[in-house]
Chains A and B, each alone.
Chain A
């Protein structure tokens, strides 16, 4: 009996050496440890062993079983490891350099610039207002202190419609409507802070620098104590956000009938830093947005008492801003519908501001 157990161990060692695959090991397990395996039959034979030797023989068989079980586990682990290694070796190494499609569609560049500006203004407590493209003489001129025969009406060649209305020549056309909309709220102590982006139209010949259809964004702020000092502060803060860097601004007198005083706001050229270059016609400054304190007549036209309330207004040329932002040289691109050009504008790039501490 003792010899048989020894033999069985020897046999197993032999066979185990030949086993190369996990399936071979499984066969061995069945052959030696299975219900009808060698060890089972040896256990059967134990019955015939004399009682005094039973204990020793049983011990031997158990040892053999222990040995085989351990050996199987060990060998199985070795083979598994080898097999996995083989799988890895045979696996394909993927080529990450293969071209893939990342194409989203594209936003119109005006949408991108407009959204950016709207977000900035919303963050400063401004509401974003909507206004029609078609308006009338009253809203576009009369309510803005531009009476009939005023040369300002020549300055903006207007598209008139067969309905007797006109296509708005500037976003200022929305001022009266928006001032009226918020008049009662203003009188309850809520300052008016509103921007109104929109499309404007002027009867101009189209060339690389001129379009008859373009976008502006107008903003107004009205309260009891709004000063020129506030206006300058606000414009500087707002433009620093728009350009994502600290901008230097200067104000000069500018004439617009709906503001008094009126200003032309220049920013120091962002390309040359004020040294003078071709973009700023060597002046170091770029004329960017007209602004001013809202003319008392404009407030009055909306039923707001100019003795009690005061405010400022400004206009931003969104199309111009988009040209600056993306380096667009020909304004005709915006309305061209040319997808070879327009498909390049995506909002994929979130640019971190150059100078995070610019408001300190």
Chain B
């Protein structure tokens, strides 16, 4: 909203204050000011001039040669406007003067000297009329600076509308003037209102079937209106505040809205016999005054003349009842409708107007009569023939309750943490229109009607009023005194950080973030189906609606898009997935870690083993436990039937790793390889971490024994391992694979078994006896020594 300081000054004396400082104070105490515009600085030496003579230019059909009296002298002016005539008073920018477009100098125009320029409203920046020069309606002597007659000089500031959403009272200048009064300690002047001075019995007939959607509906009729235009001063104000001058009645209703925030509507009295405020029984078509035909549904409140709609309540009038020139008699509607209904209707219609924006903030119904009084006052002052021609019809259907709040000084002190003087509190609240009764440290505060529609309802709201006017910059600031208390560790979070560190620092992987929904288009490129899951129902792109049930598919699409980044890289993400819904229909949200490794020229097996190491490393580092990898059949059709394994510790499965199904793999990259893993961190977090157990190191020599074994293709290392683990040899220390052999379908492995005893150096015979037992176990599963 744009605010005019001139307008504010109508209601508060700001003499002696630095206006820019005040505006800054307004930002800090009331609402954010986004911009300040200085008006009139670029209009200099523009004076009243009277056209004494008009001659046609010898060579141009458009240009005229004028003699203009500017008091000090008669000037020769070349002018192209169509409305020049002898006797017309014009705004003449004299040479040496200035208009927004630039400086005015004496110069030759089409061969004739011109000592200035006759200006249009548009050229002076005070209106949008540029059809001809501005015809002044003034008796001021020639040569008078127009700025002394018209309010060209002004300071405007634009308030961020978002910061006014909770303040319906600030959607008009009068409310903002009240803030300035509170901030400066000056008095707020009363609005100049006129009485409904009609003594007859006529009354506008109003019927309201939808009483639930109307707070108050006030009407009055005025007649005898003959003037078509409002005053220049009013038009400049409207223009400065972002509206256009239209005609007398439209300008006055707009002016009232900008002044007190109450939208009003003037209907042509000829088109109104009986006002009915209702919603249509079924959808209807209706043309609003902007000339657009709109479909009005059953929830939209209409103003009707009998059965005929003449306006959408609180949003926009109809084309047929529009005030046009020569409307001699008008019915003024000054009403407050249900804000929520107006907001929703305006959303459905896609039509947001200055009026609807105000209604949706929950206007104070007390305003309707103020608007009526202001309307009569303004119309009469602009058109002396106008008179009130009906009684006031005021239907006050719903009243907001009066809000009275009680609190004591201790409450204020506790909330603020500083000491604010009692009188200061009383003065602040009084200047903002609150009724204050203060006895023995107890405040009883009555909330004014314009703040009581939703804004101020509890005593904490009063704290804001007191402190914002006091000024947050003036607060002395203090720390709290809280008891000493250790902050407990959050192990799940620590585990996430640890996993990240391993992946980034040890395996040089890159952390990425992706969306919580699947990108169907990208999945398709890899031949991956979007699996059924909970969807976002109001997302624009339907490809993106389904929530991810795993991290890996999305990470694969990311890896796919990064093939140009490096010939080998790994990515991971710790994020949320949705694993369907529970029995109550709520999403089962899980925190997962997804890992994808890519190698453009590597071999898949090697990469798979790298991933195996990464996972083992994570479980070793975070849980001090060994992960068991168990072959499982694929659960998703992009997983490889042979190389998909579950991850588990102590029998708790916490994730999987896999290579891709050949067709998916080839879509990914013809030559490159990719492997992936996913860890359910919620399950992983439930797995106990084994404590580090210390064992006194033996100072005896270790003895090792190498076994070169020949294996079947289906034999896994874990089968071999059992052959010595099952013997539970106390002196067994570790087993390392020191060589593997895989050629022509023949698989071999060399294992080094290490033994050590604490109390003695082992004799070879003793070791050999264990080896013999191990070999028996091995031969039981078909593993023999390689010859």
Is the CB–CB distance between A105 and B504 below 8 Å? yes
Selected from A115, A205, A339, the residue in CB contact (under 8 A) with B510 is A339
Q: Does B570 contact A (CB under 8 A)?
A: yes
How many B residues face the partner with a CB closer than 8 A?
84
Q: Does A351 contact B (CB under 8 A)?
A: no
Selected from A154, A160, A253, A261, the residue in CB contact (under 8 A) with B30 is A253
Are A255 and B166 CB-contacts (below 8 A) given A223-B482, A260-B463?
Answer: yes
Nearest CB in chain A: distance from B644 CB, A = 24
Bound CA–CA A339/B571 (angstroms) = 9
Residues of A within 8 A of B477 (CB): 229-230, 232-233, 236
Are A250 and B473 CB-contacts (below 8 A) given A107-B500, A163-B587?
Answer: yes
Is the CB–CB distance between A125 and B485 below 8 Å? yes
Q: Does A329 contact B (CB under 8 A)?
A: no
Nearest CB in chain B: distance from A265 CB, A = 10
Bound CA–CA A358/B493 (angstroms) = 30
Is the CB–CB distance between A293 and B562 below 8 Å? no
Select from chain A the residue with minimum beta-carbon distance to B481.
A225
Selected from B340, B458, B487, the residue in CB contact (under 8 A) with A126 is B487
Residues of B within 8 A of A230 (CB): 417, 477-480
Is the CB–CB distance between B485 and A190 below 8 Å? yes
Q: Does A242 contact B (CB under 8 A)?
A: no
Q: Which of B312-357 contact A (CB under 8 A)?
A: 340, 343-344, 347
Select from chain B the residue with minimum beta-carbon distance to A101.
B508
Bound CA–CA A339/B561 (angstroms) = 9
Is the CB–CB distance between A133 and B576 below 8 Å? yes
Bound CA–CA A334/B347 (angstroms) = 33
Residues of A within 8 A of B509 (CB): 105
How many CB-defined contacts (below 8 Å) exist between A and B?
217
Nearest CB in chain A: distance from B512 CB, A = 5
Q: Does A177 contact B (CB under 8 A)?
A: no
Residues of B within 8 A of A227 (CB): 414-418, 478
Bound CA–CA A105/B596 (angstroms) = 13
Are A228 and B415 CB-contacts (below 8 A) given A105-B511, A106-B504?
Answer: yes
Q: Does A139 contact B (CB under 8 A)?
A: no
Is the CB–CB distance between A340 and B565 below 8 Å? yes
Nearest CB in chain B: distance from A349 CB, A = 15
Select from chain A the residue with minimum beta-carbon distance to B535.
A162
Q: Does B530 contact A (CB under 8 A)?
A: no
Q: Per-residue 0/1 for A242-257: is the Cβ within 8 Å of any B Cβ (1 yes, 0 no)?
A: 0000000011111100
Residues of B within 8 A of A189 (CB): 483
Are A108 and B511 CB-contacts (below 8 A) given A125-B487, A164-B585, A253-B31?
Answer: yes
Q: Does A59 contact B (CB under 8 A)?
A: no
Bound CA–CA A334/B575 (angstroms) = 14
Ranked 10 nearest A-B pairs via Cβ: A227-B417, A229-B417, A261-B464, A337-B558, A105-B504, A233-B477, A251-B472, A108-B511, A105-B509, A255-B166
**Interface, chain B (partner A; CB < 8 A):** 27-32, 162-163, 165-167, 340, 343-344, 347, 360, 414-418, 458, 460-461, 463-464, 467-468, 472-473, 475-480, 482-483, 485, 487-488, 490, 492-493, 497, 500, 503-505, 507-516, 534-540, 547, 557-558, 561-562, 565-566, 569-571, 575-576, 578, 581, 585-587, 589
**Interface, chain A (partner B; CB < 8 A):** 103-108, 110-111, 115, 122, 125-128, 130, 132-134, 136, 149, 151, 154-155, 159-165, 167, 189-191, 193, 199, 201, 203, 205, 213, 221, 223, 225-230, 232-234, 236-237, 250-255, 260-264, 293, 295-296, 310, 334-335, 337-340, 342-343, 346
20 new A-B contacts, CB < 8 A, other than A155-B165, A229-B418, are A105-B505, A105-B511, A110-B513, A130-B492, A130-B493, A133-B589, A134-B576, A134-B587, A149-B340, A162-B535, A203-B540, A223-B480, A229-B417, A229-B476, A229-B478, A230-B478, A252-B29, A296-B458, A335-B515, A342-B512
